[in-house]
Amino acid sequence: MPLTPTETLALLDHLGLRPKRFLGQNFLVDGNIVRKSLELGEVRPGEAIVEIGPGLGTLTSALLDAGAEVWAVEKDRRLSEYLMATLPPRYPGRLHLVEGDAVQAPLAGLPRERATAGFKIVANLPYAISTPWMDAVLSGPPPTRMVLMLQREVADRYAARAGTKAFGAISIFLQAAYDFAPGHRVAAACFHPRPEVDSCLLVLECRPAPFFFAPPVKALIRLGFQQRRKQIGSLLRTRLADGARAAWLADLSGAGLGPHARPEQIPVALWKKLRVT
């Protein structure tokens, strides 16, 4: 059973731990949200699940109770030690815990051969690492499904459409590979300590034919959004060969855009046609 709010506070006190803001430690204290995460993740026995920042193990225990095999990465040493002392004896051979930075270990040490066979991510993401972590995930074998607890602002950025201020490089990279399914709003009261903003569970389903951008193209797209007010024709003038630039600008013109368009106006489908040679 998930930890109740009272049990969470008592355990933190017993361990002598205080939530660290710089690590984004807001511990989930609502069992209904834990159950909703598993439901949205469609977690099945024997599946490989990656979790980020397991904390006190509330979600981790629920995943293991559902029969999953869990790979998790935890940066806080004391929490990592607590998890290793309490969970492996209850779930022999099914918890693989890495102590470290999730951006450096985005899949928590999940072996590549297991990843390519299919895996999911069910995680409560710290705000500070959400975008670099997602960028790292999109550079490896793609999870078939992700259920992510995110601050509403981050979820809006992931799902943003072209022409909006929230639309950016990570929106493009993610939407080229994943479809967004209905999620679930999560109130601040579901955490201890309460964050200052509401969160949501965001569900991402890998497309049948996901598209992943080559590193040089990703770098150019990132550059474009670092200079959001710069016209795309000017941005590309010295960064693409003449033929590649002319071909892509022709695609833009065919879509009713042109060299005067700014990066945030260009939809994902057109970015997918960009080639860096």
Asked whether the beta carbons of 122 and 47 are under 8 A apart, the reply is no
* Three-state DSSP class for residue 253: helix
Strands 69-74 and 95-99, sheet pairing: parallel
* pLDDT, tens only, 235-246: 888 888 888 889
pLDDT in the model for residue 1: 62
Whether 157 contacts 132, CB under 8 Å: no
- How high is the pLDDT of residue 192? 78
Q: What phi and psi, each to the nearest 5 degrees, are found at residue 98?
A: -110, 130
Name the fold adopted by 215-271: Helicase, Ruva Protein; domain 3 (1.10.8)
CATH code 3.40.50.150 for 5-206: yes
Express each pLDDT in 162-182 by its tens digit: 999 999 999 999 999 999 988
The count of other CB atoms within 10 Å of the CB of residue 257 is 18
pLDDT band, very low/low/confident/very high, at 204 (cuts 50, 70, 90): very high
- Average pLDDT (18-23) is 66
Q: How far apart are CA 45 and CA 63, in angstroms?
A: 9
CATH 3.40.50.150 domain extents, the chain: 5-206
Structure-model confidence comparison of residues 86 and 227, the more confident one: 86
